[in-house]
Amino acid sequence: MGHRGRHWVVLMAIIVDNGPMLNLTADILQGRYVRLEPVTVDHRDELKAAIDCDPESWEIMSVNGCGEGFEDFWGALQGETERGERIGFAIRRLSDGKVVGTSSYLNIRRLHGGLEIGATFLNPDARSGPVNPESKRLMLGHAFDKAGAIRVELVTDVRNARSQAAILKLGASKEGVLRNHKVTWTGHIRDTAIFSITDYDWPAIRERLEFRLGETFA
């Protein structure tokens, strides 16, 4: 075996010995205003009640969770979870105990320390107030502080101005637009705006989110 071959074997051995960089687990994430519960079959009816609404908002989502589309949404969530491709959460509002939406870890890249936070949908009555910022605070904190992530991506349809504004408000950096990135459930060829937060960015963003949650909603 030549020098290059030996170096490759050594590199592979290092990767195997060190294991995955990202140690992401499906834990309950508890905050002051919300509790994020890893989705199980027991959440199905509560989740349907929360997100099977507002068909206009679903029009610019990649998939449809409204009406007859909920069954496809639920099947994809369950299948991707079972295959280890996704960790989905039911977002429970603590003030009234209701499930008010969902969000997920997606595109989990364990060897590269990266993932995406997405597939987020909130019931209209939970879109203002602390539900979304605290949900993001909990998911980002779990990813960076416990799982050891070095990069988290957030993506959205370029037509979704509300989503882009919310992502920028978190402190994420917009990296550009992926043209003709996806074909959505309506057949629309979607351009996707991509944002990121790195482990270098996270301490300042965490401080900003905690200040926002403490000062704005206390």
Task: Find, among 167, 171, 159, 160, the residue nearest to 210 by Cα.
Answer: 171
- Band the pLDDT of 18: cuts 50, 70, 90: low
Q: Does residue 13 surpass a pLDDT of 50?
A: no
Q: Does residue 71 surpass a pLDDT of 80?
A: yes
In this prediction, residue 15 carries a pLDDT of 41
CA distance 120 to 36: 12
pTM, 2 dp: 0.89
Q: Does residue 10 surpass a pLDDT of 50?
A: no
Collapse the DSSP code of 86 into the 3-class scheme (helix H, G, I; strand E, B; otherwise coil) and give the result.
coil
In this prediction, residue 21 carries a pLDDT of 87
Sheet with 99-109, strands from edge to edge, namely 29-30, 34-38, 87-93, 99-109, 114-122, 151-157, 189-198, 173-183
In this prediction, residue 23 carries a pLDDT of 95
Residue pLDDT, tens place only, 86-141: 999 999 999 999 999 999 999 999 999 999 999 999 999 999 899 999 999 999 99
The domain limits of the chain are: 22-216
The CATH number corresponding to 22-216 among 1.25.40.80, 3.40.1010.20, 3.40.630.30, 3.30.1490.190 equals 3.40.630.30
CA distance 117 to 136: 8
Most confident listed range (20-24, 81-85, 195-199): 195-199
